[in-house]
A and B are shown apart, each in its own frame.
Chain A
Amino acid sequence: MIGYSCPKFNHYQDVEMKSFPLQVGGLKPFVDALPIPSRLGETPMASIPALPARYFTYGTPKCYTLREHEAYHQFHRDLPPTLMWTYNGTFPGPIIVHRLGTPAAFRRINDLNPNYRGFGIVETVLHNHGGWQSPDDDGWPMDFIHPGEERMYLIPNQVPDNDRSHWASTVWYHDHVADHTAGNVYHGLAGMVNQFDDVDSDNENDTNPLALRLPSGAYDIPLVLGDYILNRDGSLYFDQMEDAGQVGNLFCVNGKVQPFLNVARRKFRFRVLCASQARHFRIKLSNGAPFHVIASDGGLLEAPVEVTNLYIVPGERYEIIVDFSKFPLGTQVALINDVDQKDGNKPASVGRVAIPMMLFVINRDAPDPSQLPAKLQTITPPDLSKVVATRTLKFHRSKGAWMINDRFWNPDVPLFRCRLGTAERWIVTNGSGGWDHPFHVHVENYQVLKRNGRAPSVVERGRKDIVNLAGGDTVEIFIQFHRYAGRYTVHCHNVGHEDLAMMGWVDVQP
């Protein structure tokens, strides 16, 4: 059933083992090339089970297959391979590419080892994080399938109200089974989704005058940030009893410990995802050079924002443009994280450390037909006249556990009920200074109205599906329920908190 591949490796060749610690450390950075996941190819419709009529609601879908199975992955050249759970054999999983207006049907096959022993659970759920799809296709945490089973999903690739500013640029997919999301995602069940249309067209040579011609192809690269702990035999270290969310000592990008990437002297588009369980990052370039943020979770910003650093929390995505043409050939620039975090609760400090995440090596010239337009799109502003209710969502710790509105996760009872076709204002708070909570809503993205009574930062003014709630924060959001009735999961995206019941759901009724 499962085909293992075991790459050649140098067992502990250069691993420093001071007094034989229990886990791996002492690895040399910048020795592995950044792996770039391949794009997921189509599956012929004839080779999948017959699709029910609802899959043709939005036209004939393109079909894809995601098979969850074990495979070996090497985090570092000097480590033995690690047995992971993967989508289609790679960690991260393949990049899914969607086009606006072209629906997609996914066949997900659970081929995990039913006799697996250890953390996580082989009953799995697939969540299309940031996508706009029916709650039935979104990844309800109790809607798991067993090894040997499969199920289909419909991703419509439509936008609400024909409003193209809803078209998310970078989505990601990951496991979301109740109680075990942290373990299952840590096992490797995660991948990126790139969404394009005829404006953000995946073609920097596009002759369409409306096309943004952002860097594309080999110059459009995902950077999946994560932190891991590995045992000395290469296996994953995961503390099932850690209730704050685990932070690791091995800083990884796309599954490699502190890799390097050779880049040309031109613009690159990087899709940055924080896929860690609990760790926050603030990324910057080691030479202090500015870069531009062009998109947040739910799509392009109105205009590029020049920054010298960017804060990102678990589950969040930002897209940035880095222009390496400013640097001479041979220049090396590290991507730095300056958040020091010692446990899952919250960062210990910001700006006092310099942790290298990866290294860019400018090693060649290349033509650059791409552009960084001054205007990216117009985001429809929140229509507050549509607001029919104001709610409060309080994320807090009580009774030694994580709660939302004094309640634990209960799949049978919603936090509250909303009406399809309406909009609401939610006031989301974290009353404690002891820990942070990245706040996530499924199905619909939202817009931040205020953060602590003030206008949100420029990079938080795009569409979002995650905002961080630091201790004492109050964030007001505007959310609309456009088309899909059903269960909208809301939770803390510190997946350690989520698994310990800091999750609820909203019943959106027709």
Chain B
Amino acid sequence: MFSPDDKPPVISPELQHLAAPTPMNDREPVIDRLVDIALQTHLGPTRMSKLIGDKGIIVQLFYTRCTGVCPGTTAMLKTVAHQLGQRIGKDIIILSLSLDADRDGLSDIKRYAAMHRLPKGWYAATCSKGDLALLLKQLRLAVTPSKGRDGTIKHASQLVYGSNVSGRWRMINAELPKPELIRDMVEMTVDGLKYKKRR
């Protein structure tokens, strides 16, 4: 790498209008660790940081009354969890967090967890509207999930996954065709070097 000449020029008068300083920038800080909100999980209260610890996490944003994408996403996540096997709970946790802070209470969350027989390491949870807004803002998702007249919440089937340890976060669409692919992407993102190539 070389620079042919290092002495900056004196800008000619006719180009002064192009010599203005570069524009400022003031964006929201990027995600590093998931915001440490209070959670009510089906196993009891906790905080996000405590729940994650040094593990990787897959966050599913759902609500218990959803009849749209959530049942399919949950079913697909079950397959991912099955494929991750003993890693679930040990290295990677799944958090299904309700977008419906108005209606999803602890009893709804517990019922949901029981209905789906969530394995150890998979937490269904709800949180306050304020905390939910903080998390959604951090994830660049709509701060106030829009509700339809029938009470449905319009939301995408994105999964967020990553690790507070690696600082690496990604989103993936839960409707990706193969749970194996999601498992691989999650492992590669969460584990980095430890990830073992399967192909």
Q: Which residues of A contact B (CB under 8 A)?
A: 16, 18, 21-38, 90, 94, 114, 116-123, 142-144, 146-147, 178-180, 218, 229, 237-243, 248-251, 257-258, 260-262, 286, 330-332, 334, 336, 354, 356, 359, 361, 363, 399-401, 407-413, 499-501
5 contacts between A and B (CB under 8 A): A36-B2, A94-B1, A117-B168, A241-B138, A261-B4
Q: CA separation between A356 and B22, bound complex, in Å?
A: 10
A399 touches B171 (CB 8 A): no
On whether the beta carbons of A21 and B25 are closer than 8 Å, the reply is yes
Does any Cβ of A come within 8 Å of B75's Cβ? no
B26 cross-chain contacts in A, Cβ below 8 A: 21-23
Q: Which residue of B lies closest to A399 (CB)?
A: B175
Contacts of A118 in B (CB 8 A): 32, 166-168
CB contact list, B23-52 vs A, under 8 A: 23-27, 29-32
Whether the pair A399, B173 counts as a contact (CB closer than 8 A) is yes
- For window 146-199 of B, CB contacts with A under 8 Å fall at 156-158, 160, 162, 165-173, 175-178, 180-181, 185, 188-189, 192-193, 195, 197, 199
B195 touches A123 (CB 8 A): yes
Chain A to chain B: the 9 pairs with minimum beta-carbon distance, closest first: A400-B156, A25-B24, A33-B3, A23-B25, A401-B173, A21-B26, A241-B140, A249-B25, A356-B18
* Closest partner residue, chain A, to B176 (CB atom): A408
Are B165 and A411 in contact (CB-based, < 8 A)? Answer: no
Known A-B contacts A241-B169, A411-B181; the reply to A37 vs B1 at CB < 8 A is yes
Q: A394 to chain B: closest CB distance in Å?
A: 16
The interface-forming segment of B6-14, B76-84, B106-114, B126-134 is: B6-14
Contact in complex: A22, B167 (CB < 8 Å)? no
With a cutoff of 8 Å between Cβ atoms, the chain B residues found around residue A37 in the complex are 1
Known: A179-B185, A411-B199. A29 touches B18 (CB 8 A): yes
Query: Considering the chains assembled together, what is the distance between the CA atoms of A251 and B23 in angstroms?
Result: 10
Of A147, A241, A336, most B-chain CB atoms within 10 Å: A241
Q: 17 additional contacts, CB 8 Å, given A118-B32, A146-B193, A240-B170?
A: A23-B26, A29-B20, A35-B1, A36-B2, A38-B2, A118-B166, A123-B195, A178-B188, A238-B30, A239-B27, A257-B22, A332-B11, A334-B15, A359-B9, A410-B176, A411-B199, A500-B171
Residues from chain A with a CB closer than 8 A to the CB of B12 are 330-332
Given contacts A33-B3, A36-B3, contact A179 B166 (CB under 8 A): no
Q: Determine the distance from Cα of A409 to Cα of B176 in the docked complex, in whole angstroms.
A: 8
| Closest CB in chain A relative to B112 CB, distance in Å | 23
Contact A401 B158 (CB under 8 A): yes
Q: Does B101 contact A (CB under 8 A)?
A: no
Determine whether the beta carbon of A122 is less than 8 Å from that of B9: no
